[in-house]
Amino acid sequence: MKLSVELAAFARRVGHTFSQPDYLVCALTHSSLSSPTRPDNQRLEFLGDRVLGLVMAEALLAADKTASEGQLAPRFNALVRRETCADVAREIGIGDVLKLGRSEMMSGGRRKEALLADAMEAVIAAVYQDAGFDAARAMILRLWGARIGAVEPDARDAKTALQEWAQARGLQPPRYVEVAREGPDHAPTFTIAARLDNGAEERATAGAKRQAEQAAARALLERMEMGDD
């Protein structure tokens, strides 16, 4: 099988020449377009998640030889979570080459964070199966390199940090409420309010609910921590 011009250009962005292009085609095929003769990327996504995790664990241990498991865990989570995988996917243009069914395409599937993140992990697995662990590691370190060096020493996601802040003060866990949705179905924006039972609230808007929740939690946590000073 020979890659199309579009997929060959994508493979160059990934930085890997596929000896078995079927792996890449499968990695980019969403379940909405799968068939008995066209497998989707779910099995590859499962494998790629594990390959990414091992590479990130190795990289973090190498980057900080004195950090404890408790210090490494939030950094690891920050590097492998869905939002990060989706960000990397956007940087290499996975959305442009995803193979989607018509309904998924019409509903904005090329921009959906979950689809992008899953496809990114599937591409990692495609490289792993095509050329082995060393090739997959090299690709991951190239694409994630700046993030590994820049990950915060305390890299807990904002929702986790806000929940821990609330629990430490005897408050109920924060609630996240969708207060507005705007834009067309294929490219909506969501406004989410993060609320504490002490009456404090902050809002944020983003193109995905998870992003808006994280941004609202971050804003509320910063406000609350300033009040503690």
- Domain stops at, among 150, 168, 191: 150
**Catalytic residue flag (residue 152):** no
Same domain, 12 and 117: yes
First to last CA, the chain: 63
Same domain, 38 and 130: yes
Choose the catalytic residue: 113, 118, 121, 157. Answer: 121
Same domain, 92 and 74: yes
Same domain, 132 and 200: no
Same domain, 176 and 113: no
pLDDT score for 156: 67
Please give the share of the chain, as a percent, with pLDDT higher than 70: 97
Digit-coded pLDDT (tens) for 22-68 = 999 999 999 998 888 889 999 999 999 999 999 999 999 998 899 88
Same domain, 79 and 128: yes
Same domain, 140 and 191: no
Same domain, 11 and 96: yes
Domains in the chain: how many in total? Answer: 2
Q: Whole-angstrom Cα distance, residue 65 to residue 141?
A: 18
pLDDT score for 89: 95
- Please check the confidence at residue 227 and state whether its pLDDT lies above 60: yes
Give the pLDDT band of residue 185 (cuts 50, 70, 90): confident
**Catalytic residue flag (residue 49):** yes
Range of the structural domain that residue 219 is part of: 158-228
What is this structure's pTM?
Answer: 0.73
Choose the catalytic residue: 40, 45, 49, 104. Answer: 49
pLDDT score for 155: 57
Same domain, 79 and 120: yes
Q: Is pLDDT larger for residue 207 or for residue 204?
A: 204
